[in-house]
Each structure stands twice: as C-alpha cells, then as structure tokens.
Amino acid sequence: MLPENELGSVRSHIVVTGGAGYIGSLLVARLLSDGHKVTVIDNLLFGGESLLTFFSNPNFHFFKSDVTDARCIKAAMRRDWPSPSAVFHLAGIVGFPACQAIGVQAANYYNVEATKSIFEQSQSVGVEKFIFSSTYSVYGMSRDDELVDEDSPLNPQSLYAETKIRAEEYLLPNGAMVFRLATLYGISPRTRFDLIINQFVLDAFTKRELLIYQRGYKRSFIHVRDVIDGLLLGLNQAKGTEKYQLFNLGTDDGTYTKDQIVQMVIKRLPDTLVDYKDLTFGGDMRDINVSFKRIKQQLGFTAAISVDEGVKEVVNALRLGLIREPNHIRYRNSQFIVS
Ligand SMILES: NC(=O)c1ccc[n+]([C@@H]2O[C@H](COP(=O)([O-])OP(=O)(O)OC[C@H]3O[C@@H](n4cnc5c(N)ncnc54)[C@H](O)[C@@H]3O)[C@@H](O)[C@H]2O)c1
C-alpha cells in the first residue's frame, strides 16, 4: 500500500481488465487522478486510442493481453511496483448481440471461464478486493411492474445475461464484489453508440429519424460517470463494514420507457421523424423496475447526472464534431466478430 492521498483514501496499485473500454477508460482516468497506480490489461478489441492520454503517466502501465491467458495477471506485473490490492474485471464480450454472434461456447469461454481464471490469478498475487461488472439484464422481465432487488429470482432472456449469472455464481461465494449495472449512456474516451440512449441520439442527429420498437418498454439508465462513482464507492468501502457483496448500480429516478427517452431526444433535435413499430423480437428484452435502494443505503450512492443532461452531452459532442466517425464499428460492440 502507498500513503494516503489528499482525498483520504489509500493509494494503491489497481488492475483494470478491459481498461480501454467504455467504462474502463473513464475508470482508469479517475483512479490515476485519485493517486493510484493502474495496470490495464486489454486486448484492444476496439483499439487503444482511449488510453493514449495516460501513456506518459508514470503511474500507468499497459499490458496487452487476452484475459483468457492463464498467466496474464502475473505477466502484467511490473517488478518495481507493489502487488495490486484490487482488480476491476470489466473485460468480456459485452451485450447480447455480441454474445449471440460468437455462440454459447465462446461466450462462456470469454465471460465465465476467463473470469474464474482472472479471479484465481488475482488471489494468487494477494489481491484483497475483486470487483466485477455484471448487468441488471440478469433479472430479465418482471411481472406486473413488480420492483426487483438483489434478492429477486433471476430470469435471464439472453446468452449474455446467462454468462454473467454463471460468473456471479462463481464469484459471490468466493468473496468478490459484484455490481449489476443498469444501461449506460454518455460520453467516454471509448463512447459506445450501441447503447439505447447514445444510439437514439446518434440516429436522430445523423439520420434525422428514429424507428422505435416496443415504445412502452422500460429500462433503468445510469450515466457512465455515475457508474465510475459507484464502482469507486465499492473500492473505497471501509474494511469490516461490508454487509453486502452484491449491488444493483443505478438510480431510482433513472427508469424510463423508450418513449420518454425519445421525447428527451426530440426536445434537443426537434427535426427528427419518429416511426413506431410494435413488433417483438428475440434478444435481451427488459421491462423491469429495478430497486437501487441497497447501493444508496449501504454505499451512500446517488447519481449526479440526469438522462436529460446525458442526452444534451451526447448531442453536444456530436454537434461539436468531437467524435469524427460516430457510425464507425469501433464505437459498437455488436458487429465485432471474435476471431
Ligand atoms: N455499458 C453498459 O451499459 C454495461 C451495462 C452492464 C454491464 N456492463 C459490463 O461492464 C463491463 C465493461 O463494459 P463496457 O461497456 O465498458 O464494454 P466495452 O466493450 O467498451 O469494453 C470492454 C473492454 O474489454 C476488452 N476485452 C474484451 N474481451 C477481452 C479479452 N478477452 N481479453 C482482454 N480484453 C478484452 C475490450 O478490448 C474492451 O476494451 C462489461 O463486463 C459489461 O458486461 C456494461
């Protein structure tokens, strides 16, 4: 462990798998600014531009590797740095279309077997805290608008959710901390435009039209920077005060129907034509009301950014041309084919 920083939290060495990704690249920025040393392990499926800003930072270390490599944690270690005290395991095949595309065997290999291996390797180098990002899609659909919490039965509707459940089933009895994230939105060094809010804004901005299926379906949303705050509350939770290991990460006022999101997009981009279709199709359908009471009460988490502000942020980033080719496949997970 390193000395305390000005925020009072203990500075240490932290490993982030998937650190080049949408969440990971913002998390790395926060960890570095909080004074931690950070090792990123990533195979750069979507490129490494998101990490360039950290490249010359002496507290940043990048190790290019696949998390299925059974030695990657040890191999990533720098001899002149202390052993890591925590690992954020974010790497994986993310989202139901990407999992569907690579099939059951490969999805399990990357999302379940690799997670077990990273956890075991972390234990062998003395990591005290292992933090895993799961998804609220493990709940599937809820009946009659019933609120689902961390103790509710799971009802996965996709291979992606099934792999997350299998990873959780291994990690929770072994003492890891698990966050079930709501659907994210907002800008990061590796912005994803295959997420519902970001995608609606992009379509409205570039095509001036939106085609909406299942307009009444509800989702829980959370801004990517609020997710970082939640993950860090988990990291900094004082030892001995842990009552729970499992938290839904989102906010009670972040639940909206698709239609409500469309209204927020139209407010900013009024020239948009909207067409509604009532078709249902296979995939990761979620029409749920999730409770975020536990994370609020136990970790003191509150979200700082509203969906309306997030929509504004994405519109502004596009208007200003900050993302040159937002339709490029590097900003989407679903077209990616694992070789
Ligand atoms: N974004 C969301 O809405 C959301 C919601 C719920 C859960 N999550 C979870 O959070 C985590 C991060 O999500 P994200 O949106 O940042 O995804 P992302 O796809 O942007 O990032 C994943 C990163 O992991 C890397 N990676 C993938 N497979 C790898 C492998 N085999 N070896 C090494 N690196 C690999 C990729 O190169 C990428 O940089 C994932 O575990 C995801 O399931 C995300």
Is the pTM here over 0.85, yes or no? yes
**207 in a structural domain:** no
Q: Which atom of ligand 1 is nearest to the CA of 23?
A: 16
Which CATH number belongs to the domain containing residue 77 in this structure? 3.40.50.720
**DSSP summary character for residue 172:** G
Determine, yes or no, domain membership for 332.
no
Asked whether residue 78 is assigned to any structural domain, the reply reads yes
Give the residue, out of 15, 16, 17, 23, with the most ligand 1 atoms within 8 A of its beta carbon, to mutate for a pocket test: 23
Q: Which H or E run includes 37?
A: strand 37-42
Question: Is residue 37 very low, low, confident or very high in pLDDT (cuts 50, 70, 90)?
Answer: very high
- What distance, in Å, lies between the first and last C-alpha atoms of the chain? 39
Q: Measured from the CB, is residue 118 less than 6 Å from ligand 1?
A: no
Atom of ligand 1 nearest to the CA of 98: 19
The answer to the question of residue 331 being in a domain is no
CA 274 / ligand 1 centre spacing (Å): 31
> Above 80 in pLDDT, residue 14?
yes
pLDDT of 231 higher than 70? yes
Give a yes or no: residue 124 inside a domain. yes
Mean pLDDT of 64-90: 97
Would residue 166 count as lying in a domain? yes
What's the helix, strand, coil split of the chain in %, to 5?
40, 20, 40
Q: What's the mean per-residue pLDDT of the chain?
A: 91
Does ligand 1 have an atom closer than 6 angstroms to the CB of 333? Answer: yes
For residue 323, tell me if it sits in a domain.
no
Domains in the chain, number:
1
Is 3 within the bounds of a domain?
Answer: no
129-182 per-position pLDDT tens digit: 999 999 999 998 776 678 899 999 999 989 999 999 999 999 999 999 999 999
**Separation of CA 307 and ligand 1 centre (Å):** 22
Contact by Cβ (8 Å): 240, 172: no
The 10s digit of each residue's pLDDT in 84-130 is 999 999 999 998 888 988 899 999 999 999 999 999 999 999 999 99
3-state secondary structure of 146: coil
Ligand 1: residue of 15, 22, 138 to mutate (most ligand atoms within 8 A of CB) is 22
Q: Which of 49, 90, 335 to mutate to test the pocket of ligand 1 (most atoms within 8 A of CB)?
A: 90
- If you take atom 32 of ligand 1, which residue's CA is the nearest one? 66
Nearest CA to ligand 1 atom 43: 94
Does the C-beta of 107 come closer than 6 Å to ligand 1?
Answer: no
Domain that holds residue 245: 13-190+220-253+286-304
Which three-class secondary structure state does DSSP give residue 125? coil
